[in-house]
Amino acid sequence: MGNVAVGVAVIGAAAVVGVAALVVRQQMKSSGSWARAMAIVKEFEEKCGTSDVKLKQVADAMTVEMHAGLASEGGSKLKMLISFVDNLPTGDEKGVFYALDLGGTNFRVLRVQLGGKEGGIVHQEFAEASIPPALMTGSSAALFDYIAEKLANFVDKEEKIFHQPPGRQRELGFTFSFPVMQTSIDSGTLIRWTKGFSIDDMVGQDVVAELTKALQRKGVEMRVSALVNDTIGTLAGGKYANKDVDVAVILGTGTNAAYVEHAQAIPKWHGPLPNSGEMVINMEWGNFRSSHLPLTDYDHALDVESLNPGEQIFEKITSGMYLGEILRRVLLRIAEEASFFGDDVPPKLKIPFVLRTPEMSAMHQDTSSDLRVVGVKMKDILEISNTSLKQRRVVVELCNIVATRGARLAAAGILGVLKKMGRDTLRDGGPEKTVIAMDGGLYEHYTEYRNCLENTLSELLGEEIASSIVTEHSNDGSGIGAALLAASHSQYLEDKSR
């Protein structure tokens, strides 16, 4: 008996030693892989570095490309498209006007009643719908029929408070936020798709003609009086509210900017000089690229696998469609190469675009002491449960790296535009006040991103100049702006030369 008991004790002791050895081995393994994960994070952070020196180089490169794009067609990655908007709304506009806003995730229809100088925007109403993903890569007829149908429903519900003078055709401003070569204020051809859209039969076609055909198919009696994009609309809407608005920047699904340029400073413009002497330029800055941009392996891979490889590089590191996806790629790498989430790579983490920017911003802005939101998101979206606080901190750190790079680069882009406009230095009469109308879901909802952008811009401009440059959220300016531009280019204006 005694022997047996001793034997059990010996086996028991051996087992304890064995378990202890296993724990130590696992700890060594996990501390080794933790170190590996941290090395990957650190390298990523370094590659994403945006020192002030680098940002100033990016801003200078933006200014240089703006000049090149204005000099000749195809002179730069920046298309610097002439918008044919040479008169922003004055406030005198009157009547009921419609707008359609198509440019990414959501699609909006709206109507406004304009009351002239005294009245301003008397009434406004809108309806919103998401674009079914299948329509983003189908045929132009399918996409435009869908839009025309939504518009038809909306027009049917026009209430009595909107006063449309009898016998007058309804007019519409179309905000179509993709690169378009304008041929006039109310016509233009699609250059290429961005932001996940890819409809081959539409490229090279006149956007207004396609919409007009769809409106006819759906029985909507309406004239398309202005074709703009979200930056032009935001500029117009912003200027209506505040005359100091001279720049508009969109940070939403994608990113772009527009500004007011002196018509003589556009060598490629061969038309008559507008009375105002000014022309709004749609920069299409999402396609900006420069050797100064801090690009990582993750960005290159994302680009190569995208629908538009080699294009929209600035957009792919700053805008809402891509930030969450960059984060996913880094998390996947630390999962694969450093077993960050255990021996198995979580399968959900392998799905492109599964981690969206709104979820990333919710994790980034998690203020709970145990990072509860991060834990819930990791579980709900990626099916990674039981993350440790240490792991969740790393996730937040990665969100911060990705968002900071994007926001700081967007600020550098704005500095580039201000430099081109000569608003980055003190003038004789003191600094000239410039208001930048900002819009887009990323800017609106991602507070960390917005704060970082605004702080960076002030830091780059220096205190004295920064006090005269104001960023202002122009809520839904793009839709209202398009309606305003439809009004200022109405077929019923007595003096069409205004």
Does residue 405 carry a catalytic annotation?
no
Chosen from Mg ion, ligand ADP, none, partner binding at 375 (C-beta under 5 to 8 Å by type) = none
Instruction: Compute the least distance from the CB of residue 38 to Mg ion, in Å.
Output: 38
Evaluate whether 101 touches 108 at the Cβ level (below 8 Å): yes
The tokens describing 243, both together, are: 């005359």
- The residue nearest Mg ion at its CB is 103
| Residues present in the chain in total | 498
- The reply to whether 230 sits near Mg ion by the rule CB under 5 A is yes
Chosen from ligand ADP, Mg ion, none, partner binding at 348 (C-beta under 5 to 8 Å by type) = none
Cβ closest to Mg ion, residue 70 vs residue 109: 109
Chosen from Mg ion, ligand ADP, none, partner binding at 105 (C-beta under 5 to 8 Å by type) = ligand ADP
The tokens describing 353, both together, are: 């675009």
Side-chain half-sphere exposure of 80, counting CA atoms within 13 A: 28
- Residues engaged in binding ligand ADP (CB under 6 A): 103-106, 252-253, 320-321, 357-358, 361, 440-442, 445-446
Chosen from ligand ADP, Mg ion, none, partner binding at 253 (C-beta under 5 to 8 Å by type) = ligand ADP
Cβ closest to Mg ion, residue 89 vs residue 440: 440
The active-site residue out of 86, 101, 206, 230 is: 230
**84-117: b (≥16 Cβ within 10 Å) or e:** bbbbbbebebbbbbbbbbbbbeebbbbbbbbbee
The gap between the terminal CA atoms of the chain, to the nearest Å, is 111
Evaluate whether 197 touches 131 at the Cβ level (below 8 Å): no
**204-231: b (≥16 Cβ within 10 Å) or e:** eebbbebbbbbbeebebebbbbbbbbbb
CA angle 146, 151, 152 (to 5 degrees): 95
Does residue 192 carry a catalytic annotation?
yes
Q: How many residues bind Mg ion (CB under 5 A)?
A: 3
Query: What string marks each residue from 277 to 316 as x (binds Mg ion by CB under 5 A) or -?
Result: ----------------------------------------
Cβ closest to ligand ADP, residue 103 vs residue 294: 103
Chosen from Mg ion, ligand ADP, none, partner binding at 361 (C-beta under 5 to 8 Å by type) = ligand ADP
Type and span of the H or E element at 375: helix 372-382
The tokens describing 324, both together, are: 């969450």
Instruction: Compute the least distance from the CB of residue 118 to ligand ADP, in Å.
Output: 32
Out of 89, 103, 254, 413, the only residue in the binding site for Mg ion (CB under 5 A) is 103
Cβ closest to ligand ADP, residue 319 vs residue 488: 319
Instruction: Compute the least distance from the CB of residue 464 to ligand ADP, in Å.
Output: 32
CA distance 305 to 313: 13
What's the Cα-to-Cα distance from 476 to each of 144, 385, 480, 481, rounded to whole Å? 22, 38, 7, 8
The three-state secondary structure class of 343 is: coil
Q: Which residues, in sequence order, are CB contacts of 419 under 8 Å at separation 6+?
A: 59, 60, 62, 63
Give me the sign of the Cα torsion angle 8, 10, 13, 17.
negative
Cβ closest to Mg ion, residue 103 vs residue 406: 103
Instruction: Compute the least distance from the CB of residue 358 to ligand ADP, in Å.
Output: 4
The active-site residue out of 76, 83, 140, 177 is: 177
Does residue 170 carry a catalytic annotation?
no
Number of H helices, E strands in the chain: 16, 13
Chosen from Mg ion, ligand ADP, none, partner binding at 433 (C-beta under 5 to 8 Å by type) = none
Cβ closest to ligand ADP, residue 59 vs residue 442: 442
- Known catalytic residues? 177, 192, 230
Positions in the binding site for Mg ion (CB under 5 A):
103, 230, 252
